[in-house]
Amino acid sequence: MAKEFKKGYNYQYDSTARAYEQPIISPVPSTEPLKRQRKAQKKKLDIAFGMQLSFCGVVLFTSAFLYINSYASLRAKQGQLIELKNNMIAVKSAISETQATISEKLNLDYIRERAANELGMREPLPHQIVYIELPEESYTSYEK
């Protein structure tokens, strides 16, 4: 059981603990203006930190965007390069085939065989050959 005295002392009977005096809580001077200033300073620091963080985010996003964009354009250019190389190989192959065909058809043996078999032609006999002479005025001569 405890008795309270007018001065604020508490005492418990049947207890071995000594009585203690409760400290009187004195009113603390108001620090509201200091807290407000600190809050304002903290708010400014928070805004500055937020701006720095936002700037870092924008820089990071921009650099990632530029990297991805350059990588995509590089891949597209590599695809175009491969396609152009394949076209170049196909054109070189067609040129080689055409040159082979032309050289085959310009062969005199091929021309004689085709003329004899397909057109029914034969070589002229010696008495059928006629030589003509053209005057120099009828053709152009170049100096070497």
Residue 88 or 6, more confident: 88
pLDDT tens figures, 71-110: 999 999 999 999 999 999 999 999 999 999 998 888 888 8
Contact 92, 84 (CB under 8 A): no
Residue 111's pLDDT is 87
Distance CA 78, CA 84 (A): 10
Residue 1's pLDDT is 46
Closest CA to 124 of 115, 133, 132: 115
pTM over 0.75: no
What mean pLDDT, rounded, does the chain reach? 81
% of residues, the chain, pLDDT over 70: 68
If residue 137 lies in a helix (H) or strand (E), which one and from where to where?
Answer: none
DSSP 106: T
Contact 10, 19 (CB under 8 A): yes
Contact 22, 10 (CB under 8 A): yes
| Mean pLDDT, residues 110-115 | 88
pLDDT tens figures, 48-79: 899 999 999 999 999 999 999 999 999 999 99
Residue 30 or 62, more confident: 62
If residue 119 lies in a helix (H) or strand (E), which one and from where to where?
Answer: none
